[in-house]
Amino acid sequence: MALLEVDRIHAFYGHIHAVKGVSLQVDQGEIVTLIGSNGAGKSTTLKTISGIIRPRQGRVLLAGEEISRLPPHTIVARGVGQAPEGRRIFPRMTVLENLEMGAFHRADRGDITADLERVFTLFPRLRERRTQAGGTLSGGEQQMLAIGRALMARPRILLLDEPSMGLAPVLVEQIFAIIQDINRQGTTILIVEQNALMALSVTQRGYVLQTGEVVLEGSAANLRQNELVRKAYLGESS
């Protein structure tokens, strides 16, 4: 049984029918990507999984249980953590407070301290800046904070929405290396990316989304070889 199963969901972004019957699944321990161009419905799919948007049709299942009718805060408590598009750091709260908010639904104080240590080990920069306001961090640091904050929920599955957005190439590589580490340490990850090349180089499988529908799926290696993907997303002309 898949850890996360998205079953033929239809979702609207405002009045736009942004997601048209998308199905995908992510197994325990996997790292999977959802690629596609701007406006393909990637973020709407993620927001539907995290409960910010309600699907008009279809279901989202976590470990076999339907979560698509639950409010977002309950979905987090069930084990879906998210680093949203645009990072969405709380700008006037410190780095430490931002991380504490990630662990909001948890009551196990001692373990929270341990997880904080884990996040600071993954992102030493955050430890240096822990008393600084989130809004004063650089883009790369904010992305680290967004991922760290999502990890503080101790998610069963981590959703990352465009972690490369607006970052310099060297930072993108650094962030993706850490994402791989997080996956190796046992967290299941679903990454939404426009940077298909980067995403396919660190993930095991991928889905290609076009105008709200999955047009291709397969192993990351196969997708990298696929002509359509190469043309559309990897910047090759022929």
Q: What share of the chain is helix, strand, coil (3-state, %, to 5)?
A: 40, 25, 35
Contact 190, 25 (CB under 8 A): no
Within positions 68 to 97, which residues make up the interface with other proteins, using CB under 8 A? Answer: 71-73, 76-77, 82, 84, 86, 88-93, 97
Helix, strand, or coil (residue 225):
helix
Binding to other proteins by CB under 8 A, coded x per residue (else -) over 2-21, reads --------------------
- Residue 135 binding other proteins, by CB under 8 A: yes
CA distance 59 to 87: 26
Q: Contacting other proteins (CB under 8 A), which of 42, 129, 149, 205?
A: 149
β-pairing, 31-35 vs 205-210, is parallel
- Report the chain's C-alpha Rg in angstroms: 17
Q: Contacting other proteins (CB under 8 A), which of 29, 139, 168, 181?
A: 139
Nearer to other proteins, 12 or 90 (CB): 90
Binding to other proteins by CB under 8 A, coded x per residue (else -) over 104-123, reads xx------------------
Residues 6 or more apart from 17 whose CB is under 8 A from it? 10, 212
Residues in touch with other proteins (CB under 8 A): 50-52, 71-73, 76-77, 82, 84, 86, 88-93, 97, 100-102, 104-105, 135-139, 142, 149, 153
